[in-house]
Amino acid sequence: MTITAGQLRAARGLIGWSQQDLADKAEVGRATIADFEAGKRAPYATTLARMQETLIAAGVEFIPENGGGAGVRLRKNGGQDGGG
């Protein structure tokens, strides 16, 4: 599943992470995240997957487009501490 810029922003918001927090934890450049969220450019597929995997490990679930729109939510069990 490919995530959208909106899902990335929402996921960070759910766990209280800044762009820098995600950049540090996923080992990607903050500018890459900022540019993607602003719609300026799409990151490489491997970079996008790394960001998504990092957020999933922190307790975020990505919801695919299913007629109601793509989205994000926190796992019911709460996931790991989202502090950054």
The angle, 0 to 180 degrees and rounded to 10, between the axes of the packed helices 5-15 and 19-26 is 100
Q: How many domains does the chain have?
A: 1
Please count the CA atoms within 13 angstroms of the CA of 81 that sit on its side-chain side.
2
CATH of the domain at 25: 1.10.260.40
Residues in the chain: 84
Q: Find residue 60's DSSP bridge partners.
A: 74
Band (21; pLDDT cuts 50, 70, 90): very high
Mean pLDDT of 47-54: 97
**Residue 82 lies inside a defined structural domain of this protein:** no
For residue 78, pLDDT beyond 60: no
Mean pLDDT score, 36-54: 97
The tokens of 76 are what? 């019911």
CA–CA distance, 33 with 30 (Å, rounded to integer): 5
Residue 79 is predicted with a pLDDT of 53
> Is residue 83 domain-resident?
no
Domain residues for the domain of 28 are 5-74
